[in-house]
Amino acid sequence: MPEEDRETILLRGKEVQVGVKLMLFNPDGNFLIIKRNPEKYPGLGEKWDIPGGRMFPKEETVWDGGKREVRNETGLEITENEKPVFIGKQKFPQKPGGPEVTRLTYKARATGDVKLSDEHTEYRWVTIEEAKQMQDLDPYLKVLLDEPETAK
């Protein structure tokens, strides 16, 4: 999504963008990782990450934004009858002088067949232990793998 299309909100006088990520688990207990397309994400490398992205806080809830991002990036639908589990909150700068980004991560179950958008080139279903061993994993995701809620 082009930078100018992202909504920025003011929070305590600071520009903030809100992102939401979802660890999507299948019935086998593995979760979905997707590899970034370097043409769509120049400078970020071909890192493995979980589905998600920026939300539109004036138009949607965090949960609705997460479902939209999952649907757009993977073609999957979130299982509605389960409550999402909050894993963690991370803050990081977008770029010097840019807005702060607060990223909220949840875990949930999804249904359907994976159909990647052009934002990503590959997908895998992995265990938490397999993901911890990966060298090309998004560093923010790597930190979340050690959160207590992730393993439950």
Coil, helix or strand at residue 125: strand
The whole-model pTM stands at 0.84
Does 15 fall in a domain?
A: yes
- Mind listing the pLDDT tens digit for each residue in 7-66? 555 555 567 788 899 999 998 999 999 999 989 888 777 899 999 998 887 788 888 899
Coil, helix or strand at residue 62: helix
User: How far is 30 from 142, CA to CA, in rounded Å?
Assistant: 15
Does 151 fall in a domain?
A: no
Q: Are 31 and 128 a contacting pair, CB within 8 Å?
A: yes
CATH number at residue 83: 3.90.79.10
Does 128 fall in a domain?
A: yes
- Mind listing the pLDDT tens digit for each residue in 55-113? 887 788 888 899 999 999 999 998 877 777 888 888 776 677 777 788 899 999 988 89
